[in-house]
Structure 1
């Protein structure tokens, strides 16, 4: 094997890192990005489009469409920019899961109207900060003050309760694809926004899932990987491979 991975660990070849979404180039801002050179910590927490799609339930084609301005602005622009390629943050993925769940129950037009309203009334808050739920012909928003506000039919009027916990739980998309729990995307893995900025890691460690998946796909056995990373379990290795496989699955024919 050649090259080194995060923390000085052995790395797989460059094509493999691209395949499982581990390689993330340096960014200097870009369309919809933060406009600054990311810190190393930020770079280590960037989600590629395929990883964001796998853990949000959206397709790559949907993400591309949702980045477009269709009159009311993009549904969601990646926090780390779109040039030379789209790179998402953990909270972007949370926001995307919100949109996917809403899209399962209501029209994309309503979702866009709801998001546009939130941008107007709370322009400094990321979409992931909001708790939203489809309620018949509208979408309601639970504010920080505990109020339930209509965001579509009668923007600003009182609505009904919504529970954020639902956004993080596993669910099935309208076309039948299973989206994993965002806190435990695979057995032996975990996601915590306070650990590596919310990037998937082996449970109980700060080791990125793709570091372990790369080693396993490069031919190292479980014992060899554990020798390199004593805190990694066999479940963590299997989970890393499972998530890498999910990220690498072909896209559905229809978005």
Structure 2
């Protein structure tokens, strides 16, 4: 896979098309792979987008922008997905080898947003449930070491969209018959793949 298109990125991060466009334009989060149409996001970008969405659920976008822009001031120049952030009241901090570094105001008591926190389901600023990043559906997996993090049927390298495409269109086959072509794909897993594909399609048309 060469990168994550905007529709799948939205489905896996809970970020809207407007937010993606706005954050690209303002430089908050520019896709690593391609900024041209269509923009293509890396796996690291998806983690960073989930981080921003999680932070945005409890603080303002202005503070997030200030925190991200201040990373460079302290020579923290890695991709945003590499950092662990924390929020308390009106401030955002980042974890460094020396401990928490305040990026907005005065330091205080912080809740650390670990990767585990970012990966688990959460409710975004619009009150919408954001899917579990590693399990966007019960029988689908996202593994950074498998197909670059593209969602696959659990325990396999079969992409979710390959299964969904097989179930739809003029040459559609029944979910029960998929095992002839993909032995590890159960009808229930196929339904999960189709469900995610339908959500991605709805994001595309939103």
TM-score, scaled relative to structure 1 = 0.74
Unpaired segments of 5 or more residues in structure 2? none
CA–CA distance in structure 2, aligned partners of residues 112 and 228 of structure 1: 48
Q: How does 1:47-58 map to 2 (within 5 A)?
A: 47-58=4-15
Say whether 1:150 aligns with 2:107: no
Is the Cα–Cα contact under 8 Å of residues 99 and 111 in structure 1 kept in the other structure?
A: yes
Structure 1 residue 225 displacement after superposition: 1.7
Asked if the contact 2:88/2:111 (under 8 Å) is kept, the reply is no
Q: 2:143 aligns with which of 192, 195, 210?
A: 192
1:21-49 Cα deviation digits (max 9, x unpaired): xxxxxxxxxxxxxxxxxxxxxxx151101
**8 Å contact 1:141–1:159 — kept in the other structure?**
no
- Match in the other structure for 1:105: 58
Assess, with a 3 A threshold, how the Cα gap between structure 1 residues 160 and 171 changes in structure 2: closer, same or farther: closer
| Matched residue SS, 2:62 | helix
Give the whole-Å Cα distance in 1 for the aligned partners of 2:3 and 2:111: 32
Greater share of strand: 2
CA contact (8 A) 2:84 2:113 kept: yes
Residue in structure 1 matching 2:175, options 218, 222, 241? 222
| Corresponding pairs, count | 203
On the 8 A contact 1:59/1:251 being kept in 2, the answer is no
TM-score, length-scaled by structure 2:
0.90
Unpaired runs of 5+ residues, structure 1, are 1-43
Q: Tell me how far apart the structure 1 counterparts of residues 126 and 113 of structure 2 sit (CA, whole Å).
A: 24
Cα distance in 2, alignment partners of residues 122 and 58 from structure 1: 28
